[in-house]
Amino acid sequence: MAKNKSEIGLIGLAVMGQNLALNVADHGFRISVYNRTTDTMKKFVAENPNTPGGLVGCETLEDFVASLKRPRKVIILVKAGGATDAVIDGLVPLLQKGDIVIDGGNAKWTDTIRRERDLKAKGLRFIGSGVSGGEEGARFGPSLMPGGDPKAYAFLEPVWNAIAAKVDAKTGRPLGGAEPGKPVEGGVPCCTYIGPDGAGHYVKMVHNGIEYGDMQMICEAYDLMRGVLGMTAPEIGKVFAKWNTGMLDSFLIEITADILQQADPVTGKPFVDVVLDTAGQKGTGKWTSVNALDMGVPAPTVAEAVFSRCLSAVKEERVAASKILTGPKKKFDGNKAAFVKAIHDALYCSKICSYAQGFQLMREAQKEYQWKLDFGAIAQIWRGGCIIRAAFLQKITEAFAAQPDLANLLLDPYFNSTIKKAQANWRKVVAAAVEYGIPAPTFGSALSYYDGYRAARLPANLLQGQRDFFGAHTYERVDQPRGKFFHIDWPEKVRPQIEI
């Protein structure tokens, strides 16, 4: 009977899938679960017999689909790419007109556009939803970024709003962690409908690109304290713990403080000192950077964060190069506390510029794909649940609430005044990084972005002259309206004479 059918189903019981299924069940929704490996499904259901909503294990896709209420709502949480397509291909013959497929993986937004179009032609509906927060977020409250058919999302909305992280309506601060079977009540859910087709997964991609930038900036702050000031990991950890009580209050700053103060259980040394300095990546930061290049949007800070991971990966080459290449050997003789404060300011200013770049990228994407994005709402749902959750996002929410068509975060009065006060320290830190030979690519690129964006005149006039000289690419004039192009028939006599 229909009353015994599940409200929703989930395919893919790796850690993220299991945690999201438990989150759904904890909020009173009956959920059917299926996994390609049946033993995984059976073990999961057996270990969680008393959830408020109930878990229904299904051994076949046919049984799984038959167990769901119409319109059926099926969450897919498998590896992005071919695996997702394979699951969809297996589902399609079993579904009926109006049923809804939800991809909760880290899909590329162009794949989501394609899948939504293909399923629509078959009478099915598709939602591509960003899910941020890692394993803990999936279990106790993620940030959710759904995109697709708005009428289809209306069926999913009660579930997504229930399981999302919650923040205080006034302060934007997360409302604590939930306990199994005791979900957080009240507050504003970190979930909002983003837009048509691939909008949800696009915004999740930009979130991940910003995350790359945040993480690299924090690493540069750590490296400056270590390399210039000679501070130990636990000492630096205490600095980050203090920073987490102020304007840098965020999940990533909080865990950085904990990581730096963690001892290695094997050697007793600081944990970070025994971790190999090669960083992995799953590709979403690269997608963000490539898309920024494709659309002609300046997003250098995210790109530098991606390149930093790439550089870290050539460990053996770097070790060999360190024995050949030299740098400065200068020792710090200034005020240590003042320099730590300067690093704090450099981190905050760079963070503002990185987010400004991310929101500029989304602004251009909405033109490219005919979306209408609510940037204030996007900042709002990033205040809790997701990896980049931070007190700082409340300021972005307020900025777009005051001016929805804000061209750039740097033009908002709060961010403008903040950088005005802190930029002397920011410049001091970037200069010190160069002086002491400490790589600080995101700090430096963010500062160059700021200086470039505030420049009424850049040297691109010379660049355009070069392009016209060697390729007849034309140029615009300062004394003529924009959009009118000119070309000089460069005489041979102005070309330099090369002596052989």
Residue 296 backbone phi and psi in degrees, to 5: 70, 35
Q: Is the dihedral of CA 215, 224, 303, 313 positive or negative?
A: negative
Contact 199, 151 (CB under 8 A): no
For the record, the structure tokens of 451 come out as 């200086």
Distance CA 297, CA 363 (A): 10
From start to end of 40-190, where are the E strands? Answer: 55-57, 73-76, 100-103, 125-132, 143-148, 166-167, 188-189
From start to end of 113-267, where are the E strands? Answer: 125-132, 143-148, 166-167, 188-189
Distance of CA 305 to the CA centre of its chain: 12
Contact 365, 295 (CB under 8 A): yes
Distance CA 373, CA 429 (A): 36
Contact 400, 379 (CB under 8 A): yes
Amino acid identity, residue 200? G
How many residues are present in the chain? Answer: 500
Distance CA 185, CA 141 (A): 11
Contact 31, 53 (CB under 8 A): yes
Residues serving a catalytic function are 204, 211
Contact 450, 353 (CB under 8 A): yes
- 254, 255, 261, 266: CA torsion to nearest 10: 170
Q: How far are the Cα atoms of 108, 172, 205, 304, 462 from residue 287, in angstroms, in the given order? A: 8, 29, 7, 13, 31
Residue 326 backbone phi and psi in degrees, to 5: -120, 160
Q: Is the dihedral of CA 429, 435, 437, 439 positive or negative?
A: positive
For the record, the structure tokens of 365 come out as 């994407």
The answer to whether the peptide bond before residue 71 is cis (omega within 30 degrees of 0) is: yes
The vertex-146 CA angle with 72 and 388, nearest 5°, equals 140
Q: Which of 131, 129, 159, 162 is CA-nearest to residue 146? A: 129
